[in-house]
Chain A
Amino acid sequence: DAGITQSPRYKITETGRQVTLMCHQTWSHSYMFWYRQDLGHGLRLIYYSAAADITDKGEVPDGYVVSRSKTENFPLTLESATRSQTSVYFCASNVAGGPKHEQYFGPGTRLTVT
């Protein structure tokens, strides 16, 4: 399907486990972003990527790892999940040369860490 997809949509995991959230976009957008959404905090940027093999930290990167070996994929890994990482995670993309604010969001992944 065209657009930006995330998987899984829902995930329950235990404290200390590694979990990877997937993000895939079909537009070949250069920029991709990972946000977490928490009540009272809105969306906060975790990591972003300007192109394949280029990533940078956002506001709340601790406890997360990203990679971008292909332009269309931007997985987010929690190496050792903690309860504080229970959240809704959104992936977004943005085309280089286009309006910087025009980010296209995926449907989100709801992660619960028990």
Chain B
Amino acid sequence: GDSVTQMEGPVTLSEEAFLTINCTYTATGYPSLFWYVQYPGEGLQLLLKATKADDKGSNKGFEATYRKETTSFHLEKGSVQVSDSAVYFCALLLGSARQLTFGSGTQLTVLP
């Protein structure tokens, strides 16, 4: 079946460091890809998306590029802030379904 694999956490960085969170997927078709973020005590929020190969999603300084050849959608940010501390989830959506498939999540902690 369809699945999403994320790098295991937790990830701890100093403020202004570069962030990469790896995400790869397995899908029977051609999925749309997403990153969701969960701040402490809150539900998930959509961070960015990409719907076709080579699309780059971006929001709040975060970026991710849909790489069909490597089935990847890695999340990057050039300079993280303490306020970026959260759990990040990679997810995919396939075809006409509304069922998102989530990765296991990566906890990010940014220290001042």
Binding site for B on A (CB under 8 A): 4, 31, 33, 37, 40-45, 48, 58, 90, 92, 94, 100-108
Contacts and interface: CB of A to CB of B under 8 A. Distances in A.
Given A101-B93, A105-B44, 17 more contacts: A33-B98, A37-B105, A42-B6, A42-B104, A43-B102, A44-B102, A58-B99, A92-B43, A92-B44, A94-B98, A100-B97, A101-B34, A102-B46, A103-B98, A105-B43, A108-B42, A108-B43
A45 B99 contact: yes
Contact of B105 (A42, A92, A94): A42
A46 to B, nearest CB: 11
Interface of B: 4, 6, 32, 34, 41-46, 49, 89, 91, 93, 96-100, 102-105
Given A42-B104, A48-B99, A58-B99, A100 B93 contact: yes
The interface residues of chain A, by DSSP majority, are classed as strand
Contacts of A44: 102
Contacts of A106: 43
Contacts of B100: 43, 45, 101, 103
Given A94-B98, A102-B46, A105-B45, A42 B89 contact: yes
A101 B32 contact: yes
B89 A90 contact: no
Contact of B44 (A40, A43, A94): A43
